[in-house]
Amino acid sequence: MTDWLPDLAHRSGPRYRAIAEAMADAIRGGSLTPGTRLPTHRELAWRLGVTVGTVTRAYREATARGLIDGEIGRGTFVRDARIRSWGEVVDAGAPIDFGLNFPPCQDDSEAALRRTLAEIASDNRAPALTCYDPSGGRPAHRAALADWLRHDMRMPAEAACTLVTAGAQHGISVALAATFEPGDVVLCERLTHPGFKSAAAARHLRVVPLDMDAGGLLPDALDSAIRQHRPKGVFLIPTLQNPTASVLSEARRDAVAGIVARHRVTLIEDDIYHAFAEGAGTGKAPIPIAARIPEHSLYVTGASKHLAPGLRVGAVHGPTAMCPRLMAGLRDTLWMVPPLVVEILVRWLADGTAERLVEAKRQEQTARGALARARLGGWLAPAPAASPHLWLAVPEPWRGAAASTLVERGVTVADGPVFAVAPGAGRDHIRLALGKPAQRAAVQRGLDQIAATFARDPALDRAVM
């Protein structure tokens, strides 16, 4: 633990804010380095002559700024200022990036795009694509996406209740806008997608975490939290949960569906990774929870992870009663998705291109995952073979310093606390997203560097905890 003591003599304003500002200055100046354990609330309060409540508020302010994070039973630690809330790294020259969860970019996608654009340009019967579309998409596009949800995602969707979004992140924002008012409580897994966290914060929602284990969400925790907090809804990622890569079992899905229906709350289900929970040896991905209770659910997915990030096309499906509110959310954010990119996706779904691109990504991600398991298998949580991200337990000596050390060694990862909703959640893990490096050889080099780093004694390294 550091003996850091801020000098507040020349700082004006509330004491809690002065402490947080002094902490920010110390981090920028290098006297507080990533992984440093800070004094306890009580100790710092005694040394500064302020109340424990003042220090607690200061630490809360610093946590909100992304300067520190805390873990019950272990203390409060300085975060690496280079690592932002979505996992990207500021001004780092790390050549191997396992941080942001990008799918592998493949030449097949570019070739398919050029071919389809040429087909559209030469098709005299092609629908007009330069005019305004209705919010939610033109009927033919909505029907095609509903068919995609039924056949590929196993979600019983109808065109009238399927709206076109600009990707899944946009779909999450639209679903939140349709379900909640500022100040409402929303439940979610204690580790979750940073995009949901930022969207909930933008709507001024109060996020309450739900307990998980290696198998994902604990249904009893959901039931208890609904009884205690009386939320309007819950946001979940049951399939290839981000960041843990867990896949909720059929039994737990049935239990969650029963709890949601019984309490009459709204489930927002993010199923962005559905296609990668199935494949050789794993069979079909589980049926979405939303398919069990469509009258209580908003189902969100997108084409970016499955096909190509440049196709910012997704879908949100909900019950008829919520369609007007979903449509209002679409109009308030961008009015409509550009019909050209939707037309490209629709043609890919119809001519088999989408299926081929998904399978190619599954194969590439399976190969990259196999490399990770060969080098880091003892530290990795179980995950389907084609999972685009893996949840890696950090060996005890490296906890709190792993992400910072790896950045210095040319490897970017997503630090566990980036995904935390509960205090201290994820501190003993990092997430590896293996899709961004262009070449598989770069993936192998990055994995080798992680294994070599964790095999070292941090007491011999620059990043001493």
Q: Considering 319, 351, 383, which residue would you say is the last residue of a domain?
A: 351
247 in a structural domain: yes
Handedness of CA 205, 266, 270, 407 (dihedral sign): positive
Per-residue pLDDT at 456 exceeds 70: yes
Q: How confident is the model at residue 374 (pLDDT cuts 50, 70, 90)?
A: very high
420 in a structural domain: yes
307 in a structural domain: yes
pTM listed for this prediction = 0.84
6 in a structural domain: no
Whether 324 and 218 share a structural domain: yes
Q: Which helix (DSSP H) or strand (DSSP E) does residue 114 occupy?
A: helix 107-122
CB 302 within 8 A of CB 165: yes
pLDDT score, position 464: 40
**Tell me, what CATH number does 38's domain have?**
1.10.10.10
pLDDT score, position 463: 38
pLDDT score, position 282: 57
Domains in the chain, number: 3
Q: How confident is the model at residue 319 (pLDDT cuts 50, 70, 90)?
A: very high
pLDDT score, position 192: 97
Whether 363 and 344 share a structural domain: no
Q: Considering 47, 78, 109, which residue would you say is the last residue of a domain?
A: 78
384 in a structural domain: yes
Q: What is the pLDDT of residues 334-371, one digit of tens each?
A: 889 999 999 999 999 999 999 999 999 999 999 999 99
Whether 335 and 391 share a structural domain: no
Per-residue pLDDT at 85 exceeds 80: no
**Tell me, what CATH number does 452's domain have?**
3.90.1150.10
60 in a structural domain: yes
Question: If you average pLDDT over residues 81-104, what whole number do you get?
Answer: 69
Whether 339 and 436 share a structural domain: no
Q: What share of the chain is helix, strand, coil (3-state, %, to 5)?
A: 45, 15, 40
Residue 32 belongs to what domain range? 15-78
pLDDT score, position 82: 61
Q: How confident is the model at residue 71 (pLDDT cuts 50, 70, 90)?
A: low
Whether 328 and 363 share a structural domain: no
Q: What is the pLDDT of residues 194-234, one digit of tens each?
A: 999 999 999 999 999 999 999 999 999 999 999 999 999 99
Which phi-psi region, left, alpha or beta, contains residue 71 (left: φ > 0; alpha: ψ -120 to 50)?
A: beta
Q: State whether residue 43 is helix, strand or coil.
A: helix
